[in-house]
Amino acid sequence: MNIWQAIQQLDRLVFTSREIASLTGVSLSAVSQTLGRLEQKRLIQKIKRGIWALTHDKRFSPYLLVPFLEPSHLCYVSFISALHIYGIIGQIPQTITLATTAHSKKIVTPVGVFRLHQIAPSFFKGFDWHEGRTFLIAASEKALVDCLYLAARKGKNYAAFPELDFPSSFSKAKAREWAGEIQDPKIRKAVGKQLSVLL
């Protein structure tokens, strides 16, 4: 099996050099060189070291990169990005915002900018697979509370929302429950107060 066949066999729009090396039995350095040549032919695109994508495929979305950005830690889409996906915020965010237990960081890729925000391990929950099981996303209520959690820790600009349009499926009671699960009492109080204003 050659490297292009291996990419096709994976049947995924994002993949790693290591996966291709494992499928073909070719050394990692040789795989990387071949993938580089495929990129020159515009068949694939390098996202960051060891991560490649079929970005010319019409099904491609930057959100497909989420499981690959922090290999040793889970990340889930939350904050403003999740609220936009749920239609609660109409404005398209310039960056894709993720929650993680790893250190906060900004990752710039050719197809989008990702901001990873660290949250306490005890509060790293309330997420599930998005349709198609391609990336993890917070429930709408948890995404809103995650925004307020971040604002309480990092500054009010994280809770400066454009107009919010809550769908009928949004549960105010569930949002209050999530706020109540914040372990730090000072942050829990600040989030609860801000949530009451928004709801």
Q: Which residues contact 186 (CB under 8 A, 6 or more apart)?
A: 152
**What pLDDT, on a 0 to 100 scale, did the predictor assign at position 54?**
94
Domain count for the chain, please give it: 2
Confidence of residue 9 (pLDDT cuts 50, 70, 90): confident
Average pLDDT estimate for 95-107: 93
Residues 20 and 90 in one domain: no
Chain segment 15-53, per-residue pLDDT in tens: 999 999 888 888 888 889 989 999 999 999 999 999 999
Both 136 and 107 in one domain: the answer is yes
98 and 193: one domain? yes
Place 158 in a pLDDT band, splitting at 50, 70 and 90.
low
**Please, what is the average pLDDT of the chain?**
90
Name residues whose C-beta falls within 8 Å of residue 108's C-beta, 6 or more positions apart in sequence: 114
Asked if 136 and 77 count as a contact pair (C-beta separation under 8 A), the reply is yes
Res 133: pLDDT: 78
Q: Tell whether 114 and 28 lie within a shared domain.
A: no
180 contacts: CB under 8 Å, gap ≥ 6 = 188, 192
pLDDT of residue 98: 96
Helix/strand/coil percentages in the chain, nearest 5: 45, 20, 35
Last residue of one domain, picked from the residues 35, 53, 71: 53
Question: Does residue 140 share a domain with residue 85?
Answer: yes
Whole-prediction pTM:
0.86
Bridge partners, 108 (sequence order): 113
Read off the pLDDT band of 148 (50, 70, 90).
very high
Residues 71 and 165 in one domain: yes
Does residue 96 have a pLDDT over 70? Answer: yes
Cα separation, 142 vs 106, in Å, equals 22
Where residue 30 sits, what CATH number does that domain have? 1.10.10
SS (H, E, C) the chain: CCHHHHHHHHCCCEEEHHHHHHHHCCCHHHHHHHHHHHHHCCCCEEEECCEEECCCCCCCCHHHHHHHHCCCCCEEECHHHHHHHCCCCCCCCCCEEEEECCCCEEEEECCEEEEEEECCHHHCCCEEECHHHCCEEECHHHHHHHHHHHHHHHCHHHHCCCCCCCCCCCCHHHHHHHHHCCCCHHHHHHHHHHHHHHC
Confidence of residue 156 (pLDDT cuts 50, 70, 90): low
Query: Residue 75's domain spans which residues?
Result: 62-198
Taking residue 155's Cβ as centre, other Cβ atoms within 10 Å add up to 10
At 8 the pLDDT is 87
DSSP 8-state code for residue 34: H
- Each residue of 54-88: pLDDT tens digit? 999 999 999 999 999 988 889 999 999 999 999 99
pLDDT confidence of residue 163: 81
**How many angstroms separate the first and last alpha carbons of the chain?**
57
